[in-house]
Structure 1
Amino acid sequence: MSSNSEPPLRPHYPGCYRPLAPGFIRVFELEPGNPADPIVGRLVSQAIDGEAYEAVSYVWGDPRQRRDITVNSETLSVTANLHGALTAFRHHLLPGRPQVRRLWADALCINQDDVPERTAQVELMGSIFKGALRVLAWLGWEEGEEARQHTLNAIRFIHSFMEDPETGLQEARILLLHHDVSVTGPPSRLAMLSEDDRRQFEDQAGKWEAVKFFFETRYFHRAWIVQEVGLAREAILYTALKPPDDSENCNSLLLDSIDWQLVGQFVKFLDYRAASLVTHLGLMSWVAHHIWMVWEKAEDGTPECDFLTAMHWVRILGVTDARDRVYSLLGHPCATFDGQLIIHPNYTVTRGVVYTQLAANIILKTKDLYAVTLVDHEVDPCELKREWDPGDESRMPSWVPDWHSINRTTPIDWAQPTAGPEDIGIEIEGGIEGIQGTMMPHLLVRGWVVDEIVAVSHRMETTDFPVTNLTREMAKGNPFWLDRVWDLVFPPDRREGCDALTVLEALSLALPFGTREKDQPASKVGPQQNLAEHQRSFAAYVLDYHNLRQTIASADDGEGLGYAPPGSLYDSLPEEARAELRRRAHGATSEGFLECMTWPSMCRVVYRTASGSVGIGSRITRPGDLVCRVPGARVLMTLRQIAGYNDGPSTIPCVFVAPTIVPARMKMSDEDFSENSVRFRII
């Protein structure tokens, strides 16, 4: 085309999509009708703060399953799930008062084929949901009467449970107490319970099965809903029994609903007070809790969750486009710096470039390395390529979190930052534009090598943690895990002259990211125990494991101990340490410690350093990794030396493995590191 040619014509779109002025949106005016009637309505444009509307939150669903609707007298194809939402919300009007319903739904109100428009509207979506009169969250059709009954039972149970959650939790603990009861398994252990226990067990099992079904609903597992319900003035979750295919004579729908605020309070309580119950029953309620945490506020009204942590919490949720893990949260109050968006949508570069630009920009603006502490590698970072490749979506430096990988860990949150001045020596060398064949950027920082890792445990799983019975213990992937970890951090050949109780306390604090401050909670996750309460519940936990071991030995001549390490933690302690544990455990239960350590320890490892310190870190940690302290980081770093760079003896080329905690080394001051600093080149 020559320079004198006509400008390219605007692509042909359905006539219902007219160009939008800046700050304008489209609203769908939906005509009333019965379930079998065609969906009919019109799109009208208005200023985003114009006439009132309701926003629809839903899962797009299978793009191949589509239904036709009529918009501005034209036929438009939408996904079956959006069609279901429009059917349900069209019908749910005041009886005897036919009226249009003004709705905003992304796939309908944004021209998805117009990339510039889609990009502009994505930036506005936070304002769209925040400005809506209410958010109508469509969970999808209930497929049959059984599914509807599960949903109704879950909704009723959540309402009743939250009237007195502590009592509800105590009643549910029968499901933990009788781990191996099976109604169907031969021989059934159900008959072994008393009549009252059996009745309570069956009642609780039925209620929590309904809760399990409810939170497996696909709606809760989609990233875009996070800001859709989080920004809402009011968000109500709706579902309804799917009308039969032959529904010409169906004139009514009965919608089942529950308020999102109540759901959020329920899942928060479960995660903080009943982690062992959640993991034992395989509940997906924690996914909904991740959504809730993104929007929690402190007492002064400021957000408790920053933008990067918000992205970490929602990385378990599904997206069609990995870049939307960033863009779907741009309505978050922490998504701006100095009034400008933290990053602008760009669908022309890979997710690796988007994530790198986000992390690099925040690090340079804040002189804070918190972004780096959210790294959770799925594979060994030494195997990663070191040049940009636009054809590789996942390529990025080792120090950048891959928010599209599965979230397996809780962010490490230490009560007292270990960093010195946060503006010291943080540089990023190289380009972040993702240009083919150029080197990915290096993170250059100064710091100190604190210790070297010499031994690493197996990866810990939530199923390892509860103390139950022999049958359950033998079914674990890591039976008697506490004894095994103890042998690693306090091996027999190193016990001479060592204070076993000090090592044990370090282990107990590492597992829940605990603090040594007596007047502070031992952990921010789970029950808010102070140090004394933490010590008592951990002592009870150690004794629970010892008693299980003793019960096995007396019941079957020790046959079950073939699954255990040669010695137990308790038996390895000197008598004065055992006496202290018994004193602490008197009148205490292990529940507090178990609830505090379940989420932090999940999918992590315990390790021992060359100096004998105890730490907790990433599942890819291995002997030889360095534990390092870097000003600007709130916790210690695990770094792994690599070859191929020669910056002199005072620079260590390395890859970033993970954030880490070593309780005995967390509170060292800058004066402790006044000498022997090195420069880390993190690839």
Structure 2
Amino acid sequence: MRIRNIFRHVRAAQNLHFLLGNYQYDPLPSANYIRLLELVPSSDKVVHCSLKPFELHRAPPFQSLSYTWGNPLTSLSKSSSATSRTRRSHINGCISTTTHRDAKSPPPGRDLEDSERTRRHPVICDGQIIKVTANLRDALRMLATSITSKIEVATPKYFWIDALCVNQENIAERNSQVAKMAEIFKASESVIVWLGKEDEFTTDAITTVERISRIPEEDWPLIPYTSFYQRRTCKQYSRLDLTFHNWLGFIVFINRPWFLRAWVVQEIALAKSANVVCGTKAFPWEKLSKTLGFIKTTKWYHHLHTEKLKHISSIQKHPGVYKRVLQAKLDVGVGPVYLDATRVKMTASGRLSVQERNRKPPLRLLLETHRFSKSTDPRDKVYAFLGLADKRMAPFRTHPEALAPNYNLSVQTVYTDAARALLTSYGNLSLLSHVQDPSQTQIPHLPSWVPDYSVDLDPYPLRYRGPGFWKASGGLKWDINVFTMANGFLDVQGYQLSFIDQASVLTTETDDASASWASIVKLALSLEQPYPSLREDNKSPSRVEVLWRTLTTNTYNKQCPAPSSTGTLFIDYILNLQIRHRLTPWSSADEFQPHHSPLSESIYPEWSTLLCLEPLNSPYSFSVYKERLSTVVESMFSGAYSPIGLAQLQHEFDQCGGKKRRLFRTQHNYLGTGPRSLREGDEVWVLDGASVPFILRRSPTGNYKLIGEAYVHGVMHGELLGMGLPRRQITIE
């Protein structure tokens, strides 16, 4: 009787281990075996289950659970700084160079926030206690009680759940089981995606998914980009009858941590079928897939930002439960879109041949595409994609034993081994473009040429800007030295173009709206004429042309080289900057205050000086600018002028210059844009086997540190090879 009463009280339930003892795992019979969990019906709140070993290929039908180890709800914190500090401490706690991992750490790919210190919820397994986190407890209760009728969770009665089916304290077993996770999820009858309990936003989110998924795919291209805000003008959209509150609910929903976990890419991509469960709500993955496909096709992800939606008058007047959401900076990022795209690629059938259907993505593509994903253990940013990668392609084709999961290795070793395998198997230096800005690196003692996969890559490499196919090295091959790479040194060959003489100020480094542009204009003014390289018509480009082509990396809307019409847009952009900067003292205050002093002339961009230096026949001359100014003013008065066409140009600038990359001028009169951390004195190199130049910094040892890739106007297509510069071999450490 006393035991029965204990089971009925939560406080006593938390002390069950004193009565029943902690669960003791029996070793698996062989490496071919897995454990499956069988849920046992029970009338009390404590989950009862049993773990049974089965040979994987002879196992009974089972389902796999995909979930997050920690808090499953979207964080609505106003600032990401605290999150960043927490994330850094978590990463630093996982990078020990010792030969073993803390046995109490959470399973691979799970959230550290809810690790061992919050694994306080008891599960009775074969008469013994296993403690789990709150989210896993909720998932187990969902499975045990079959609270959703849309998923037959009772049949099959077996489940594979990493936290319970793998002995997390046994490093050797964890290495072995992680290596076969892809096989496990492929063998599952289905995958249950547990997103956690419902919140006050879930109903709006599900409404959005249900209505969007009903739109036929052939109608997606017919829905205008602007109809998101003007629903009455689009007959196709009127069928949706979605409110902005519905969309806000979806934004919160899609920002749940599950969508950013590294391991879920494999778990969802390999699933024969998948069902999403959020509290008592459930729906097949295909509905979410169609919703994401719709958002991608219509490009409505541009609109789905809380920073944009909070300015809509109806939302401002009646925010409802979204008041805190509107204060958080949330959007529909690339994470869920790429996650679904990988699954679509893996499950494509009708349109592909048998050979194409059996082709998995290369490891390199997976690492690049899902760089944004998160994992508690930084090593999982590599290990989570091994089972999904095509073993017939690089690096496994030449390194068949490369990169097997081994949690005895340090993070530095895992990342360096991955970089070395990719560099040598591909035989070029394109991987260097995926090295983050040095200011973003988190893993200590990592060679500067090795990507830190534990952090996001922002901005993405220049080659993603469009089909430019730059060949700065002119097709020269890189001579590989595998022996020095094993010691953390990368031997490269190439040409030193010049030293950085001046660098611009980033928009994030100043509170003055015009200071960044002022520094950029000064760089352009410092350019000597003629410019070292010629245009396609063999004429020297003017300062303004060099400036806008550099600021856009000579790419506009995926066109490379950028069309000359982009220069006309740039003149309009300058005009709008002039108006905005001049009006700042008057418009920045809540009320009209004429006593504001004008911007300092030392800060204000010298656009007029730059334009006056243009040749008389230049399309960017001061006279052309004045004519355009008159036209714009007249259009403004008539209500016919709209600067919406500049939005794309602003996007190009954000990606290439002033915000995410820093503009620079070299001692030899070249203008370029490169990583945020570049500084005066850094060297610009064109390396053999690389399509773009790189910024290198000499270290006290005489070797170099990699700072990042660069666009240098006039040397992106092998022009440097005709300059007679000496070819040198250097070492990057």
Is TM (by shorter chain) over 0.5? yes
How many angstroms apart in 1 are the aligned matches of 2:360 and 2:499? 34
- For residues 399 and 97 of structure 1, the distance between their equivalents in structure 2, rounded to whole angstroms, comes to 48
Aligned to 2:714, the other structure's residue is in SS state helix
Contact 1:150 1:213 in 2 (8 A): no
- Partner of residue 290, structure 2: 262
Decide which of 291, 310, 321 is 2:366's aligned counterpart: 310
Whether 1:521 aligns to 2:563 is no
1:50-69 aligned within 5 A: 51-61=60-70, 62-63=114-115, 64-69=118-123
Does the CA-based 8 Å contact 2:205-2:247 persist in structure 1? no
* Post-superposition offset of 1:599: 4.4
Q: Secondary structure at the match of 2:559?
A: coil
The counterpart of 2:160, out of the listed 101, 104, 109, is 104
In the alignment, structure 1 residue 363 sits paired with structure 2 residue 402 = no
- 1:477/1:174 CA distance change after superposition, 3 Å: farther
Query: Which amino acid is the alignment partner of residue 141 of structure 1?
Result: K
Aligned with 1:55: secondary structure? strand
Alpha-carbon contact 1:419-1:635 (below 8 Å) kept: yes
Q: Which moved more, 1:507-516 or 1:550-559?
A: 550-559
SS at match of 1:108: helix
Change (3 A) 1:129 1:347: same
Residue 573 of structure 1 aligns with which residue? 611
Match of 1:472 in 2: none
Partner of 2:55: 46
| Structure 1 residue 616: Cα displacement | 1.8
Structure 2: distance between partners of 1:306 and 1:358:
13
Q: CA deviation at 1:625?
A: 1.0
Give 1:423 deviation, angstroms: 4.3
Deviation at 1:171, TM superposition (A): 4.1
Conservation of the 8 A alpha-carbon contact between 2:301 and 2:332: no
Structure 1 counterpart of 2:506, one-letter code: R
1 CA distance for matches of 2:46 and 2:554?
A: 59
Map 1:589-604 → 2, pairs under 5 A: 589-599=645-655, 603-604=660-661
Please name the residue that 2:260 is paired with: 221
CA distance in structure 1 between the partners assigned to 2:248 and 2:689 by the alignment: 46
Per mean C-alpha deviation after superposition, the further-off stretch among 148-157 and 621-630 is 148-157
Equivalent pair of 1:221/1:316 in contact (CA under 8 Å): yes
Q: Provide the rounded CA distance (Å) in 2 between the counterparts of 1:407 and 1:207.
A: 31
1:337 to 379, 385, 396: 396
Aligned match of 1:667: 717
RMSD: 4.4
1:444 aligns with 2:491: yes
Partner in structure 2 of residue 617 of structure 1: 674
Offset from partner CA, 1:256-275 (integer Å, 9 cap, x none): 66544235435645879728
Per the TM alignment, residue 311 of structure 1 is displaced from its structure 2 partner at its CA by 2.9
C-alpha distance in 2 between matches for 1:278 and 1:571: 40
**1-side partners of 2:330 and 2:379: how far apart?**
28
Indicate if the aligned counterparts of 2:63 and 2:192 stay in contact, CA closer than 8 A. Answer: yes
Q: Which segment drifts farther, 347-356 or 97-106?
A: 97-106
| CA drift at 1:455 | 1.5
SS of the residue 2:169 aligns to: coil
Query: Aligned equivalents of 1:127 and 1:158: distance in 2?
Result: 33
Residue 397 of structure 1 pairs with residue 453 of structure 2: no
Whichever residue aligns with residue 282 of structure 2, its letter is L
Instruction: Provide the residue aligned with 2:414 in structure 1.
Output: 354
Deviation at 1:366, TM superposition (A): 2.5
- Equivalent residue for 1:30? 39
Q: How far apart, CA to CA, are the structure 2 residues paired with 1:531 and 1:275?
A: 27
Task: Report the CA distance between 1:664 and its aligned residue.
Answer: 2.1
1:151 aligns with 2:205: yes
Deviation (angstroms), 1:447: 0.3
Partner secondary structure for residue 490 of structure 1: helix
Q: 1:500 to 1:446 in 2, by over 3 A?
A: closer
Question: Equivalences for 1:158-557 in 2 at 5 Å?
Answer: 159=213, 164=220, 167=223, 169-172=225-228, 206-240=245-279, 253-255=280-282, 259=286, 260-262=288-290, 264-265=292-293, 268=296, 274=302, 282-286=329-333, 287-289=335-337, 291-292=339-340, 306-308=362-364, 310-334=366-390, 337-338=396-397, 340=400, 342-379=402-439, 394-413=444-463, 415-421=469-475, 423-430=477-484, 432=486, 440-460=487-507, 477=511, 479-480=513-514, 483-491=517-525, 494=527, 502-515=542-555, 521-522=558-559, 531=563, 534-535=566-567, 537-549=569-581
The one-letter code matched in structure 2 to 1:21 is: S
Provide closer, same or farther for how the CA distance between residues 484 and 149 of structure 1 changes in structure 2, counting only shifts above 3 A.
farther
Q: Is the 8 A contact 1:630 1:637 kept in 2?
A: yes
- CA shift, 1:239, in A, is 0.5
Residues 315 and 405 of structure 1 are in contact (CA less than 8 Å); yes or no, is this contact kept in structure 2? yes
- Residue 676 of structure 1 aligns with which residue? 726
SS of structure 1 residue aligned to 2:196:
strand
TM-fit CA distance, 1:598: 3.8
**1:141 counterpart = 2:191:** no
Tell me whether 304-313 or 116-125 shows the greater mean CA deviation: 304-313
Asked whether the equivalents of residues 378 and 454 of structure 2 are also in contact (C-alpha less than 8 Å), the reply is: yes
- Give the drift of 1:155: 3.4
CA offsets per residue over residues 369-404 of structure 1, 9 Å max, x none? 1222211144499xxxxxxxxxx9621211111222
Q: Which ranges in structure 2 are unaligned for 5 or more consecutive residues?
A: 1-20, 71-113, 232-241, 310-328, 532-538, 633-640
Aligned residues: 586
Q: CA deviation at 1:147?
A: 3.6
CA contact (8 A) 2:449 2:706 kept: yes
Farther off after superposition, 353-362 or 401-410: 401-410
Residue number in structure 2 paired with 1:126 = 182
- TM-aligned CA deviation for residue 656 of structure 1: 1.0
TM-superposition CA deviations, 1:62-84 (whole Å, max 9, x none)? 13143333434544332221222
| Aligned CA distance change for structure 1 residues 573 and 211 (closer, same or farther; 3 Å) | farther
Q: Matched residues in 1 for 2:151 and 2:264: separation?
A: 30
Q: d(CA) in 1 for partners of 2:425 and 2:246?
A: 49
1:570–1:317 Cα change, 3 Å: farther
Q: Could you tell me which amino acid in structure 1 is paired with residue 163 of structure 2?
A: A
Q: CA deviation at 1:628?
A: 0.7
Aligned CA distance change for structure 1 residues 663 and 32 (closer, same or farther; 3 Å): farther
Corresponding position of 2:130? 76
Aligned equivalents of 1:478, 1:215: Cα separation in 2 = 35
Give, in whole Å, the separation in 2 of the partners of 1:424 and 1:106.
Answer: 43
Residue 666 of structure 1: SS of its match in structure 2? Answer: coil
Report the AA paired with residue 30 of structure 2.
A
Tell me the equivalent position of 1:526.
none
Extract unaligned runs of 5+ from structure 1. 1-11, 176-202, 241-252, 382-391, 433-439, 465-475, 524-528, 646-652
The amino acid that maps onto 2:599 is G
Counterpart Cα distance in 2 of 1:592 and 1:305? 31
The whole-number CA distance in structure 2 between the counterparts of 1:543 and 1:406 is 35
Q: Shift of residue 639 of structure 1?
A: 0.6
After alignment, is 24-33 or 344-353 more displaced?
Answer: 24-33
Q: What do the CA deviations read for 1:139-168 (whole angstroms, capped 9, x no partner)?
A: 11124xx24335335535754898647747
Q: Offset at 1:305?
A: 7.0
Measure the CA separation in 2 of the matches of 1:513 and 1:30.
58
Deviation, structure 1 residue 352: 1.0
Answer yes or no: is 1:656 the counterpart of 2:714. Answer: no
User: 1:164, 1:68 → 2: CA distance?
Assistant: 48
Q: Which letter does structure 1 place at the counterpart of 2:667?
A: A
Task: Give the AA of the match of 1:415.
Answer: F
